[in-house]
Amino acid sequence: MAEPAGLARALARIVAEGGPSAPGRICRACLAVLPVTRAAVTVMAGADRQEPIWASDEVASHLDEMQFRLGEGPCVEAFTAGRPVLVPDLAELSGHRWPVFAAAARRTAVQALFVLPLQAGAIVIGVLDLYRDEPGMLAPDELAAALRTADALLWALLGLRDGPTADGFPGNSGNSEVDPHGWLSGSPLNHTAVYQATGMIMVQLALSPEAALSRLRASAFVQDRPIDEVARDVVGRRLRFEKEER
């Protein structure tokens, strides 16, 4: 595999630059270094509402779309269960698991698939599907790179949802300096204050987890400070979010 650190840097740069092309660029960067053949990204607002964002080719797009039409498959499972679904060999899949999808998938060139949810705790916004035209599990460093790709997609998509002012990293929009806050390196658990603050802002403003995180990001952006630092202010009760009076 190509240098993983290179991928991490490339992903961080794409997320920092933001914009509607970010998801596709992230996937292409991932395809360039991982031994997978195809990729697709679907954003979801529930098991029965989804929107394909990007697909590398017809096969990926077809497999992706089919799962949601059928209501079964690894994407649906990864999304609802909140964990990756890794199938190193489609031929070995038991008959009970997604019978219709598995039969259809076996008619394509795809032989292995790896689906990663785009999530942070209770925030689950979609899935990344990686398809491979030969069987075999990802090596540990390859799996790590795939998970990083999913993290990058999560942050890029949250940035897109927040609108142009909050694209990319708060305080770092358009800046090509790479990953200043360590979001795309290290463990997601390095950011506990952000998750805790998200919960607190949910209560302060009566918002969903995703909207609460979005407010935190916007606040960090406006203050031009790292999001972890602003989150610590919220947790330390030095910063409160108040509902706007109408």
11 vs 201, beta carbon nearer other proteins: 201
14 vs 87, beta carbon nearer other proteins: 87
In angstroms, give the least distance from the CB of 21 to other proteins: 28
In angstroms, give the least distance from the CB of 226 to other proteins: 18
As a whole number of angstroms, the distance between CA 54 and CA 207 comes to 29
In angstroms, give the least distance from the CB of 176 to other proteins: 29
**33 phi, psi to nearest 5 deg:** -110, -25
**Exposed, middle or buried: residue 52 (CB in 10 Å: 0-12, 13-18, 19+)?**
middle
176 vs 187, beta carbon nearer other proteins: 187
As a whole number of angstroms, the distance between CA 155 and CA 52 comes to 17
19 vs 199, beta carbon nearer other proteins: 199
**107 phi, psi to nearest 5 deg:** -80, -10
In angstroms, give the least distance from the CB of 188 to other proteins: 6
3 vs 95, beta carbon nearer other proteins: 95
Task: Count the helix, strand and coil residues of the chain and give each as a percent rounded to the nearest 5.
Answer: 50, 15, 35
In angstroms, give the least distance from the CB of 104 to other proteins: 21
Q: From 167, 195, 128, 132, select the one nearest 22 (Cα to Cα).
A: 167
Helix intervals (H) in the chain: 4-17, 22-33, 58-70, 74-81, 99-106, 140-162, 192-205, 209-223, 227-235
In angstroms, give the least distance from the CB of 234 to other proteins: 8
Q: By the criterion CB under 8 A, which residues form the site for other proteins? A: 81-88, 94-96, 116-117, 119-122, 137, 140, 143, 147, 187-189, 192, 195-204, 209, 235
**225 phi, psi to nearest 5 deg:** -125, 155
84 vs 159, beta carbon nearer other proteins: 84
